[in-house]
Amino acid sequence: MPDTLTKFVYQTFQQGKQAFGYTHKTVLNRLRDVVSPVETTSRSELPASTLALLKRRLDDLTEVDWQDAESGVYPKSLLFDNPWDDFFKYYPMVVLDTPSAWDRSKNKQYQEFDSEISTEGYPSYYVQNFHHQTDGYLSEMSANLYDLQVELLFNGSADPMRRRILAPLKRHIDNLAGNPKVLDVACGTGRTLKMIRDTLPQTSLYGVDLSPTYLRKANELLSKEPGTLPQLIQANAEALPYLDNYFEATVSVFLFHELPAEVRQTVINECYRVTKPGGVFIICDSIQKLDAPEFAPMMENFPTIFHEPYYRQYSTDNIEARLESAGFQSVEMSNHFMSKYWVAKKA
């Protein structure tokens, strides 16, 4: 397929996902206004200029995603890597589960779990209904719905935001011989690990997460296609179960905004410990207030609407200083759409 046609198909694909995500949220919000209305006085409405800026940044993300694929950072097939089987299987469940999330939000029930789910042994900050989702991160249903829920939240841009870690990771790995080891901290359902495996098949991949159900989902995803399976371990990132100086690269995607400040520093320290001298640590997470003052009202609304108890502190936290205090150097930062990136080196 000629590149111009491939680009057009990709742009159309992304626009379709954006339209579907917007329609999904619009319909459900209008339905909620009827069946489970909430007070909106505490929310700040976004002006038209901010919405237009959001659209431009989303278009810019799509363009960067295409350019990286066209330049060979990752195969163009990744641009169309959508789990359609999960979409058709689980989208009805996302819709049917939404009223439960509305009830938890309205009644301020932030730590509600099924009686069969044990929360023993997990840190208190983790035992939360993040995003008001049923059973937090501790049930099979949550693991099955998560990726689709995030794609709907970001209007089809979650994977393009994840893929922004691949260019700096590839630049580092391509200079190394053998089979460099890469760790994904809080690997969740394995979407990022799959992208790394497809981009850098020579790497030995490792993933760690607190949720056993999300790790099972990751194993399911990564087993669907040929390739060496990453080594997946259930563990707390505050005490990574690896030797010092073990990995050529460490990455983490959408973790730090869900950690209390002191835990955030502990996890960064652990990532420094297990990364080899000369290695890199790459973070993808939410933008912060200093990056986009125009989006400050949206960032103020976000913690309440989606129950993100540590987000407000994160939105003003100095992650660069935290990285440097752990020992990392030459920290580079960038922003794409609603995400922010830090690439830090260990001397």
Q: How far apart are CA 147 and CA 323, in angstroms?
A: 28
85 within domain boundaries: no
pLDDT tens per residue, range 309-344: 999 999 999 999 999 999 999 999 999 999 999 999
pLDDT tens per residue, range 99-157: 999 999 889 999 999 999 999 999 999 999 999 999 999 999 999 999 999 999 999 99
Which CATH number fits the domain that encloses residue 338?
3.40.50.150
138 within domain boundaries: no
75 within domain boundaries: no
Task: Please name the residue ranges forming H helices in the chain.
Answer: 3-35, 48-70, 84-106, 140-153, 158-162, 166-173, 191-199, 212-222, 261-274, 296-305, 311-315, 319-326
- Domain hosting residue 175, numbered range: 157-346
92 within domain boundaries: no
204 within domain boundaries: yes
259 within domain boundaries: yes
pTM confidence score: 0.95
- Output the pLDDT for position 292: 87
Instruction: Provide the β-strand partners of residue 80.
Output: none
Q: How far apart are CA 114 and CA 139, in angstroms?
A: 9
- Per-position DSSP letters for 57-109, written without gaps between them: HHHHHHHHHHHHHHTTSS-GGGGG---HHHHHHHHHHHHHHHHHHHHHHHTT-
137 within domain boundaries: no
187 within domain boundaries: yes
- Output the pLDDT for position 44: 55
Query: CA separation (Å) from 45 to 23, 149, 287, 302?
Result: 19, 23, 19, 12
The tally of domains found in the chain comes to 1
